[in-house]
Every structure is written in C-alpha cells, then in structure tokens.
Amino acid sequence: MTPQTPESKILGTFKTALAAAYPLRIVTRSLKDYADRPPAELKAGVFTIVTVGQTGADVFDQMLKFMVVGQVQLHEKATGEEIEEIELIMAREIKNLIQRQLYGPLMRITGIDHSAQLETPYGWVSVAVECGPYDATEPLTLDETIGHLTDFLTFQADIDINQPHQSAAEHSKWAADVPDYTTSQPDAQLRVDIPRSTP
C-alpha cells in the first residue's frame, strides 16, 4: 500500500529507520496478540508502530501522536527482572533512534509504560511519541544531499507568509530552474551569492 497522507509517510519513514537501526528486531505497523505471532518473532522482539491521535485544527500546524509497542517472550523460567531488563533495552533503542533523528518533523517521547513484570515470560513496553509541528499541505520528502559546497554558488528562497498560503503547485513553479511567477508571487524573497572558493 502506497502512503497517501503526510501522517502515513511519517510513520512509514520511522518504521524504515527503526528496522535499519535494529535489524534483528521485527518492525511492523500491525499490532497483534502474542498468540498470533510466531515464537521466533517474539524471541527476537517485535516493535509495532500505531497511531494514537492527532491534534491541531490548523492544517499548517499539525501534530501526530503515535506509539511504539515492543513485545518480547523469554524462556519459561525467565524471571521478572530478566523481562524488565529486555523491556528497558527495547525502550532505550527507541530513545536512541529519536535522539539521533536527522530529518523530518521534530519527535519527542512523552511517556513510557512497562508490563511491571505481570505477564512473565512475556514482556511489553509502550513508548508514546509526539511528532510535529508539520505542514500537512505539502508533500514530505527526505532531505537531499547538497553535495559539494564549491558547486553551491547561489542560495535563493521564496517566502510564503500570508494566509491563505499558495498551493504546492505554485510553490513548485517558484522552485523551478527558471522560476515562474506568472500566477502568484512570494511575499518575500532572499538571495545570497556565495563567492566561488579557489583551490
């Protein structure tokens, strides 16, 4: 299924980043009961990313709340302390990923819950994450590599301040190699010429 909303793109990108950071874990977007997961997945540790809610009536200032649920199963004689330690490790993995986030809307952890050793040899941890603010009118894309700064000679920005904002189609016209201002105009512009560096 191809993501159709900014929210699904945020969640999908987070899923991809989490799977890449911890390839021995199972990372999914579909929450299942322990009985519905293969034992091998539970022993590896499963992360499931689920939407909790959204806030922000302003489409230009959206917030997304989601949760990362970690599920794990140890051997039958595992102690509560062993379960708790695995849960702490899984929670730390989510913290580490969010702390080194390199692009996209700001993410912050708002709370972490544990199983409190009540379901041994099963364990779970739930990490609540808040993401935003972000503009839900624009397509979200990954950061592009700038490349060699010696080739980066001019910086130009077209600024859209007044509401209602221009559409994404108009913004694309402004950003073309030859900007098109025939149907709309930016509210402000910024241009900086960078001197070419010499070897």
Compute mean pLDDT per 10 residues along the chain, 199 residues long, and list them. 77 92 96 96 97 83 94 95 97 92 82 96 97 76 48 71 77 82 86 60
Domain range for 162 is 149-193
Cis peptide before 121 (omega within 30 of 0): yes
Residue 199's pLDDT is 42
The total number of structural domains that make up the chain: 2
43 residue type, one letter: K
What's the pLDDT at 116? Answer: 96
* Predicted TM-score of the model (pTM): 0.68
At which of 94, 109, 134 does a domain end? 134
**Residue 199 located in a structural domain:** no
- pLDDT of res. 2: 59
pLDDT of residue 165: 73
| Same-domain check for residues 41 and 114 | yes
pLDDT at residue 67 in the model: 98
Same domain, 50 and 129: yes
Can you give the pLDDT at residue 195?
Answer: 61
For residue 40, CA distances in Å to 100, 141, 160, 172 come to 29, 35, 52, 48
* CATH number of the domain bearing residue 40: 3.30.2000.30
Residues 155 and 129 in one domain: no
Same domain, 124 and 58: yes
Q: What is the pLDDT of residue 91?
A: 97
